[in-house]
């Protein structure tokens, strides 16, 4: 059994904070988030680390990726879908604004992770095109995964989503900041404000040991 009972408690509390809405210290590696990190057993992580989750993804560069590869870095993670016409572009724009406000050294260390819940359409190739369209550099990691991996991560982050008849998604609007051990230290809920708090949380996560 996965040691995730504490994480699920956190997720339940986060999910209750916002109903689903609708939507019309390794250095950073290459732009696909690639790295040569070895697998780490779940027992090596702290009790509240999301990196205990046994979920597998693929980068937009086509490489297998596990969340534990992010250990040692402050991380911002958001779930989204590339064809979103309203909320997701606002979230990504806010994340770009947060990243631009970080000191240079912290900006180089921090990882900004986008995980798509549109598992059918947001293939690695589609995410690579999205990266190019949005001008996302090597500090960004774009991930595609099987439905069960995405759903498990969404539950841990307190993100709710549901595909609608037109192919779009109703979903929670939030992003999450993790410390170097993969523990949740901050969430911005909604589509407005909270950037000062996010920058401060990232700065704290980047200095904690």
Global pTM value? 0.80
Q: Output the average pLDDT for the chain.
A: 83
What domains appear along the chain, each with residue ranges and CATH number? 5-207 (3.40.30.10)
pLDDT tens digits along 23-72 = 543 334 444 444 444 455 555 778 889 999 889 999 999 999 999 999 99
- Measured CA to CA, the distance from residue 75 to residue 37 in angstroms comes to 16
Whole-angstrom distance, CA of residue 32 vs CA of residue 37: 14
Residue 163 CB partners (closer than 8 Å, separation 6+): 118, 169
Rounded mean pLDDT of 167-190? 93
Task: Compute, in degrees rounded to 10, the torsion defined by CA atoms 6, 12, 15, 16.
Answer: -140
DSSP state of 182: S
The two three-digit tokens of residue 124, written as one number: 């690695």
Helix/strand/coil for 188: strand
pLDDT at 22 over 80: no
């Amino acid at each position: 059994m996965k040691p995730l009972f504490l994480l699920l408690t956190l997720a339940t509390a986060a999910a209750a904070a916002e109903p689903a809405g609708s939507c019309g210290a390794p250095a950073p590696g290459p732009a696909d988030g690639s790295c040569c990190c070895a697998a780490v057993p779940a027992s090596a992580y702290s009790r509240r680390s999301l990196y205990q989750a046994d979920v597998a993804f693929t980068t937009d560069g086509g490489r297998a990726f596990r969340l534990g590869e992010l250990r040692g870095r402050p991380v911002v993670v958001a779930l989204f879908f590339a064809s979103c016409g309203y909320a997701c572009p606002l979230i990504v724009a806010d994340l770009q604004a947060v990243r631009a406000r970080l000191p240079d050294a912290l900006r180089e260390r921090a990882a900004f992770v986008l995980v798509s819940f549109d598992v059918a359409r947001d293939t690695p190739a589609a995410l690579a095109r999205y990266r190019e369209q949005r001008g996302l550099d090597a500090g960004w990691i774009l991930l595609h995964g099987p439905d069960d991996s995405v759903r498990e991560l969404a539950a841990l982050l307190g993100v709710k989503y549901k595909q609608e008849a037109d192919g779009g998604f109703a979903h929670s609007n939030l992003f999450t900041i993790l410390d170097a051990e993969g523990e949740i230290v901050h969430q911005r809920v909604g589509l407005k404000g909270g950037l000062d708090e996010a920058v401060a949380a990232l700065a704290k996560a980047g200095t904690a040991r």
